[in-house]
Amino acid sequence: GQNIDQPTEMTATEGAIVQINCTYQTSGFNGLFWYQQHAGEAPTFLSYNVLDGLEEKGRFSSFLSRSKGYSYLLLKELQMKDSASYLCAAPTAGTALIFGKGTTLSVSS
Amino acid sequence: GAVVSQHPSWVICKSGTSVKIECRSLDFQATTMFWYRQFPKQSLMLMATSNEGSKATYEQGVEKDKFLINHASLTLSTLTVTSAHPEDSSFYICSARDPMTNGYTFGSGTRLTVV
């Protein structure tokens, strides 16, 4: 089976740094994805990790530890527009993406 | 990059009627597409995997006779919600895997409201 856990909600202030954690259990491993989703819109791709370590992409970074079944998304220099849901996801053996429940991030001024 | 077009963006229908949602891959061929449903304040739940030229694979708990999936060509998959009820009101999103990057591309979603 497949199980993906992440916190339900997080809050932060503009300019701060926030880390959203994700733990996963998958039958087989084919990488880990992070998506951002604003209400009423489709998810947009943020990052993909298949090897251990940190991948940095502008204000967003993603980390993976395969041995621990753990990933995190790091958002720096938070902006109001970063208020959204952040979804951790992993492909199944059948290649469909399975999503965690999502973390709703609220950024305040 | 790969683009998936989904129509309609929103639809309102009466209870008991059927609604068809289309998902097209515009610049690539998709032998497999995925259909998700998302209720308010919840995450995306995989409903089924659509396979070109063969039957769809449905997730546990999803009624295949209610949610008809047809994938007749390499660029088009359709989801028909039959005999819709208010509890079927949801956000439906399709997805396909980009063969060039192996990433997943999503349609823009369809907001279905059954009254």
Which residues from A are below 8 Å from B43, CB to CB?
A: 85, 87, 99-102
Q: Name which of A39, A71, A26 is nearest A52 in CA terms.
A: A71
Chain A: nearest CA to B15, how far in angstroms?
23
Would you write out chain B's pLDDT as a tens digit for each of its 115 residues?
Answer: 789 999 999 999 999 999 999 999 998 999 899 999 999 989 999 999 999 888 999 999 999 999 999 998 999 999 999 999 999 999 999 999 888 887 899 999 999 999 9
Neighboring chain A residues of B57 at a CB cutoff of 8 Å: 94
Task: Please state the separation of Cα A29 from the chain's center in Å.
Answer: 16
DSSP for A37-102, please give it.
E-TTS--EEEEEE-SSEEEEETTEEEEEETTTTEEEEEE-S--GGG-EEEEEEEE-TTS-EEE---
C-alpha to C-alpha distances, B63 to A17, A95, A98, B101, B109, nearest whole angstrom: 43, 21, 19, 32, 20
Whether residues B57 and A94 touch (CB distance < 8 A) is answered with: yes
Q: Are the Cβ atoms of B103 and A48 closer than 8 angstroms? A: yes
Distances (CA, A) of A61 to A15, A48, A49, A58, A80: 16, 10, 10, 7, 18
Q: Going residue by residue through chain A (109 aa), what tens digit of pLDDT does each one get?
A: 789 999 999 999 999 999 999 999 988 888 999 999 999 899 999 999 999 999 999 999 999 999 999 999 999 999 999 999 999 999 987 689 999 999 999 999 9
Nearest to A45 among B44, B57, B103 (CB): B103
Neighbour count for residue A105 (Cβ, 10 Å): 21
